[in-house]
Amino acid sequence: MNTLLQISGLKKQFGGVIATDDVNLEVTKGELHAIIGPNGAGKTTLISQLSGAVRPDSGTITFKGSNITNRPAHARAQLGITRSFQITSLIMSMSVLDNVALAVQAHDGHSFKLFKPARKITHLRKNALQFLQQVGLENRADDPASALSHGEHRQLELAVALASSAEMMMLDEPMAGLGPEESATMINFLKTLKGQKTILLIEHDMDAVFALADRISVLVYGKIIATGKPDEIRFNDDVRHAYLGEE
Amino acid sequence: MNTIGKITIAGMLILAIVPPVLLLSGQAFYMDLATRLVILGIGAVSLNLILGFGGMVSFGHAAFIGLGAYAVGIPAYHATYGEFEMVASYNGLLHIALAVGFSALFALITGAISLRTKGVYFIMITMAFGQMAYYFFLSLDIYGGDDGLTIDVRSELPLINLDSPMQLYGLSYVSLAVAMYLVHRMVNSRFGMVLQGTKGNVERMATLGYNTYYYQLLAYVISGAMCGYAGFLLGNFTTFISPDMMHWTRSGELMFMVILGGASTALGPILGSSLFILLEEILSSFTIYWHLPFGLLLILVVLFIRGGIMGLFKNMGGSSK
Ligand SMILES: Nc1ncnc2c1ncn2[C@@H]1O[C@H](COP(=O)(O)OP(=O)(O)OP(=O)(O)O)[C@@H](O)[C@H]1O
Ligand SMILES: [Mg+2]
């Protein structure tokens, strides 16, 4: 088996709330693994522990065979893990293209280069523009990120994640707040990414999840209650009880 | 060129022409004002690098001015009165090296600690380090303590005679132009993009893979070194130095200049220092409590004109950036 990411015994508690409760999970190279679960189940907290934004109380995270549990966020990004944010987290004062170019630049050697104008470095700009084209934002390249609509912010979040050229992308509700049409575009786009990248997808939209995922894990109150192929999850009794809310 | 660029060139042209003309027509007083303005302008430009572009609100920047000034005063003192033969010297190049070197070192040490904190804590801790420098020089009785130290002989530089007001102004003006150019290049480089990105969203930058701490620290060191150089000039200008140059109120004044003029613009700090010097001159002729109306003015600017004076121009010019 070709494991890219392994989580074992992960725990995180916020005061009285157990956000992550002894989570064990393996993500295989190249799969699209969806994590579903009700509001407040601890999906975002899980991703934040994987990206390094939140420190777990205990447990280990292994990526490509090395223990990264205590690595800072920027070191994990350099190793090839990136995330998008459920609540858009961009550099609003900079242009749309600058936002993506910074992601490209992060993997183009160190940035202690103090003299040459960064906006005139063609390969940074060209690559960044390509990622904007992929998500369909190229015509907004020179606008400040703050000027984009909510839907466009979601697209830009995705473009930035793509530009990080990470092996594993963790997408936190990329479709949150999108209209039906925009969602359909996003689903189609994620389909084109399948196989090229390992993707950990958090999503509430069940149609999207069942259309996209190779495997699904169900998180309830910080615990993973089931992991399996979409059909196994769809017909799993525990899941129907605890989450899909049937009978 | 956009509106902001034109205004910047115009402002620098005025500074290049008007003060020398006034001096030649016998108005030495205005030359004095202009020299102080230009030197403090360098300090403000250096602060703008970290405050305006890096979002690091340093409330201790006057310490670097003081360090730079004492880097002139102490060697000159020993050259005149003996002792400490090692440092005794009138050599201006040595003074510059000491000013820049010690400021960079002080910035490296204090920055490495301060940058572990954020927000209000960063403001407080940089202020505390500034005050530490202030009290350190206050306690040095040999250099006059709080009475200060008179510089009897100005730094000796090749080709330039700092005793000539015109030449001192010339050096200060060119230094300002170079400082502005360097900051302009830096903030638009890869390094500058990281610096501005960090100001905008630290978490995002870490997620992209940037170890933002070291980028901020380098900016802090460069800014401190540049400000130390301004101190070298200020020492030679006033020929009297005292710990008062490092007091936190002086750091506050530098911040005023940057914010008043317009942070994260090239000319903003210069406009800010110009307005500061003019207001100081005008208001202090009415009342010794001139800081009060000045503070009120600053609050009004911060509340009602986003981006300071340059912000006003930007809105008038209607250019996007
Ligand atoms: N920084 C924090 N401090 C305190 N409690 C937190 C913090 N972050 C999350 N929590 C709590 O942990 C639990 C899990 O939150 P989390 O955001 O991970 O859920 P989620 O599954 O992503 O929910 P949603 O579907 O609404 O996005 C919630 O009860 C939340 O209130
Ligand atoms: Mg969430």
Domains and CATH numbers, chain B: 3-317 (1.10.3470)
- Spatial contact of B223 and B108, defined as CB atoms under 8 Å apart: no
pTM exceeds 0.80 for this model: yes
For residue A219, the ligand 1 atom closest to its alpha carbon is 21
Query: Residue with the nearest Cα to atom 24 of ligand 1?
Result: A39
- Closest in A52, A73, A105 to B193, CB measured: A105
**Nearest C-alpha neighbor of B151 from the set B94, B75, B93, B85:** B75
CB atoms within 10 A of CB B205: 26
How confident is the model over A153-161, as a mean pLDDT?
Answer: 95
pLDDT of residue B283: 82
pLDDT on residue B320: 42
| Closest-CA residue to B196 (of B71, B110, B321, B43) | B321
- Nearest-angstrom CA–CA distance, B36 and B30: 10
pLDDT digits (tens, 9 = 90+) for A202-225: 998 888 999 999 999 999 999 999
Residue in B193, B203, B320 closest to A102 by CB: B193
Shortest alpha-carbon distance between residue A75 and chain B (Å): 6
Q: Is A39 on the interface with B (CB under 8 A)?
A: no
Neighbours of ion ligand 2 (CB under 5 A): A 43-44, 86
What residue in A sits closest to B196 (Cα-Cα)? A94
| A17 in contact with chain B, both atoms CB, cutoff 8 A | no
The answer to whether the CB of A127 falls within 8 A of the CB of A158 is: no
What is the structure's pLDDT at B46?
97
Token pair of B24 as six digits? 């030649």
Could you give phi then psi for residue B128, rounded to 5 degrees?
-65, -40
The dihedral region occupied by B232, where left means phi > 0, alpha psi between -120 and 50, and beta the remainder, is alpha
**Distances, alpha carbon A71 to alpha carbons A66, A80, A168, B15, B135, in Å:** 10, 13, 16, 51, 40
For A162-207, how does the pLDDT look when each residue is reduced to its tens digit (9 = 90+)?
Answer: 999 899 999 999 998 888 888 898 899 999 999 899 999 999 888 8
Q: A79 to chain B: nearest residue by CA? A: B209
Residues with CB under 6 A from ligand 1: A 14, 17, 19, 37, 39-45, 86
Interatomic CA distance for residues B154 and B167, integer angstroms: 13
Q: Cβ–Cβ of A116/B189 closer than 8 Å? A: yes
Pairing of strands A81-83, A168-172: parallel
Are B141 and B246 in contact by the 8 Å Cβ rule? The answer is no
Question: pLDDT value at position B104?
Answer: 98
Percent of the residues in chain A that have a pLDDT greater than 70, as a whole number:
98
> What distance in Å separates the CA atoms of residue B68 and residue B96, rounded to the nearest whole number?
8
- Residue A17 CA to ligand 1 centre (angstroms): 9
DSSP code per residue over A220-243: ETTEEEEEE-HHHHHT-HHHIIII
CA–centroid distance, A177 to ligand 2, in Å, is 13
Considering only CA atoms, which of B31, B40, B34, B33 is closest in space to residue B233?
B40
**Cβ-proximal residues to B143 (8 Å cutoff; 6+ apart), any chain:** B70, B73, B74, B77, B137, B149
For ligand 1, atom 5, name the residue with the nearest CA: A14
Distance A10 CA to ligand 2 centre (A): 17
Predicted local confidence at residue B34, as pLDDT: 94
Q: Enumerate the residues of chain A whose CB falls inside 8 A of the CB of residue B188.
A: 117-119
Query: By the CB < 8 Å criterion, does A49 face chain B?
Result: no
Q: Which residues contact A171 (CB under 8 A, 6 or more apart)?
A: A83, A84, A158, A161, A190, A199, A200, A201, A202, A203
- The whole-angstrom separation of Cα B256 and Cα B281 is 16
- Cα of A20 vs centre of ligand 1, distance in Å, is 10
Instruction: Label residues B63-101 b or e (16+ Cβ within 10 Å = b).
Output: bbbbbbbbbbbbbbbbbeeeeeeeebbbbbebbbebbbe
Closest CA to A221 of A15, A23, A5: A23
Ligand nearest to the CA of A43: 1
Distances (CA, A) of B186 to B49, B59, B103, B270: 9, 22, 19, 18
CA distance A149 to chain B (A): 18
Q: Which residue's alpha carbon is at the smallest distance from atom 31 of ligand 1?
A: A40
> Could you give the CA distance from residue B198 to residue A213 in angstroms, rounded to a whole number?
35
> With a cut of 50, which residues of chain B have pLDDT below it?
318-321
Give the distance, in angstroms, between the CA of residue A178 and the centroid of all CA atoms in the same chain.
Answer: 17
Contacts of B183 (CB under 8 A, 6+ apart): B45, B46, B48, B49, B53, B266
Q: What ipTM score was computed for the predicted complex, to two decimals?
A: 0.93
Interchain pair A103, B208: CB under 8 A: yes
User: From the CA of B52, how many Å to the nearest CA of chain A?
Assistant: 13
Q: CB pairs below 8 Å between A and B: how many?
A: 103
- With 70 as the cut, is the pLDDT of residue A246 above it? no
Locate all alpha helices (DSSP H) within chain A, ordered by sequence. 43-51, 73-79, 96-105, 122-135, 150-163, 180-193, 206-212, 230-234, 237-239
Q: Which of residues 121-140 of A touch B (CB under 8 A)?
A: 121
3 state SS of B40? helix
C-alpha angle A101-A106-A108 in degrees, rounded to nearest 5: 90
Lowest mean pLDDT among A75-89, A118-132, A179-193, B158-172: A179-193
Asked whether residue A53 carries a pLDDT value surpassing 90, the answer given is yes
pLDDT of residue A245: 59
Distance (Å, rounded) from C-alpha B60 to C-alpha B223?
Answer: 12
> What is the model's pLDDT at position B194?
98
Q: State the nearest Cα–Cα gap between B253 and chain A, in angstroms.
A: 27
Residue A206: predicted pLDDT: 87
User: Token digits for A207?
Assistant: 């149609």
Q: Which of A74, A87, A94, A131 to mutate to test the interface with B (most CBs of B within 10 A)?
A: A74
Can you read off the two tokens belonging to residue A2?
């070709």
> Domains of chain A by range and CATH?
1-77+203-247 (3.40.50.300)
Nearest residue on chain B to A92, judged by CA atoms? B200
pLDDT for res A247: 42
Kindly state whether A51 is in contact with chain B, defined as any CB-CB distance less than 8 angstroms.
yes
Question: Do B200 and A83 count as a contact with CB atoms less than 8 A apart?
Answer: no
